[in-house]
């Protein structure tokens, strides 16, 4: 890889870049929010969240001051909710340090909650035009193909090696475009699934895997651990036009979000009926709503859901649909169940 190849990449980017909302701003706050949202979520899904989030929380001060429930409601459906909590923690920390904006040095920004090397590089290069590379899975895929590198691309030492290589090519005048052009190449040309569009690629002439037709062998996949399947029974307690939800524990998966009560094993309709009688619920009927599945990064939930029509409320939050939809953050796993009763 030579400087001229980077010029080709930048030229390709200037012609082919997508028109994305966060590409029209230099505001480090907005760029930070976009990068955090984009970390595990598709661009198309992020667009809407990004806009709504910035209307309600337009700056660091409003983010630091927002209640956790409101914040999680804004994040509802995006997943990986610790990202949202870290955003708020980070905003609080920045303000407590006496800054009005995210700091613009690598040392300071890396010590903030939720900001790892990728996000630090993205913010510093995109918002502050500094020569700090942002290396994520997309960049590593491109590099593993260009160099036919079969090492484990998730390894820190391998990433460090490429970090120095990329840094050596960065210049302040195009630091932003440098970062975004790699992102764009990974998204539009050097595709992860399906066939990469090598004929359109600005790195075609230096790409070893293109030369040897081995693109699909890179990056080399390590055996991934299989996702654990967790069986569940979900109870949707309905009293008149209200539904019962409760807050989850404050640690672990989906911490502090809301949920329908559930048990960690699957029950048949008859078993649910007996269970409700044993637990002294006053109900008139119970019916099976269906089987629902939700995939998280490390576990998969297989849920049997039941609606229980109650004669009498018990203690806790019985909410009308409008309140559930506007005020409480139900994670997608439970929203799937909720959509069916809607």
Name the residues that contact ligand ADE, by CB under 6 A: 20, 22, 34-35, 38, 43, 180, 183, 187
3-state class of 234 per DSSP? Answer: strand
Catalytic, 35? Answer yes
Q: Is 341 left (phi over 0), alpha (psi -120 to 50) or beta?
A: alpha
3-state class of 243 per DSSP? Answer: strand
Closer of 184 and 259 to ligand ADE (Cβ): 184
* Closest residue to ligand ADE: CB criterion: 38
Closer of 18 and 340 to ligand ADE (Cβ): 18
Q: Which residues contact 235 (CB under 8 A, 6 or more apart)?
A: 260, 261, 262, 263, 272, 305, 306, 308
Helix orientation angle between 137-146 and 156-169, rounded to the nearest 10 degrees: 80
Is there a contact between 76 and 329 (Cβ–Cβ < 8 Å)? yes
CA dist., res. 42 & res. 40, Å (int): 7
Is there a contact between 249 and 255 (Cβ–Cβ < 8 Å)? yes
Question: At its nearest, how many Å lie between ligand ADE and the CB of residue 332?
Answer: 20
Identify which of 131, 141, 124 has the alpha carbon closest to the alpha carbon of residue 163. 131
Question: At its nearest, how many Å lie between ligand ADE and the CB of residue 118?
Answer: 8
Q: Which residues contact 94 (CB under 8 A, 6 or more apart)?
A: 60, 64, 101, 102, 103, 112
CA dist., res. 152 & res. 245, Å (int): 44
Q: Which residues contact 236 (CB under 8 A, 6 or more apart)?
A: 243, 244, 260, 289, 305, 306, 307, 308, 337, 338, 341
Q: Which of 3, 35, 230, 325 is catalytic?
A: 35
Structure tokens at 229: 């399947």
Identify which of 172, 166, 87 has the alpha carbon closest to the alpha carbon of residue 127. 172
3-state class of 70 per DSSP? Answer: helix
Structure tokens at 89: 């923690």
Question: At its nearest, how many Å lie between ligand ADE and the CB of residue 126?
Answer: 7
Active site residues: 35
């Amino acid at each position: 890889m030579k400087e001229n190849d980077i010029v080709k990449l930048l030229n390709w980017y200037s012609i082919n870049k997508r028109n994305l909302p966060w590409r029209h701003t230099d505001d480090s706050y907005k760029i930070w929010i976009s990068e955090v949202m984009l970390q595990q979520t598709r661009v198309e899904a992020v667009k809407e969240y990004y806009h709504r989030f910035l209307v309600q929380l337009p700056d660091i001060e409003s983010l630091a001051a927002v209640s956790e429930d409101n914040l999680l409601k804004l994040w509802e459906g995006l997943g990986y909710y610790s990202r949202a909590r870290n955003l708020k923690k980070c905003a609080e920390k920045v303000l407590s340090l006496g800054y009005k904006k995210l700091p613009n040095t690598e040392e300071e920004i890396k010590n903030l909650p939720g900001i790892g090397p990728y996000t630090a590089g993205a913010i510093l290069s995109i918002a502050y035009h500094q020569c700090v590379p942002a290396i994520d899975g997309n960049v590593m895929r491109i590099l593993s193909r260009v160099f036919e590198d079969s090492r484990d691309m998730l390894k820190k030492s391998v990433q460090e090696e490429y970090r120095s290589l990329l840094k050596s090519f960065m210049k302040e005048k195009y630091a932003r475009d440098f970062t975004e052009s790699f992102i764009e190449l990974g998204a539009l040309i050097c595709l992860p699934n399906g066939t990469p569009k090598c004929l359109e690629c600005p790195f075609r002439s230096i790409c070893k895997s293109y030369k040897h037709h081995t693109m699909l062998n890179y990056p080399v996949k390590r055996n991934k651990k299989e996702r654990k399947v967790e069986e569940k029974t979900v109870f949707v307690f309905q009293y008149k036009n209200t539904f019962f939800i409760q807050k989850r524990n404050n640690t672990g998966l989906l911490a502090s979000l809301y949920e329908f009560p559930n048990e960690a094993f699957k029950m048949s309709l008859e078993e649910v009926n007996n269970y409700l009688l044993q637990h002294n619920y006053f109900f008139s009927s119970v019916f099976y709503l269906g089987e629902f599945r939700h995939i998280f990064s490390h576990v998969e939930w297989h849920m049997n859901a039941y609606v229980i029509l109650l004669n009498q409320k018990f203690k806790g939050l019985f909410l009308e649909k409008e309140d559930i939809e506007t005020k409480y953050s139900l994670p997608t796993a439970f929203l799937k169940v909720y959509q069916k009763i809607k």
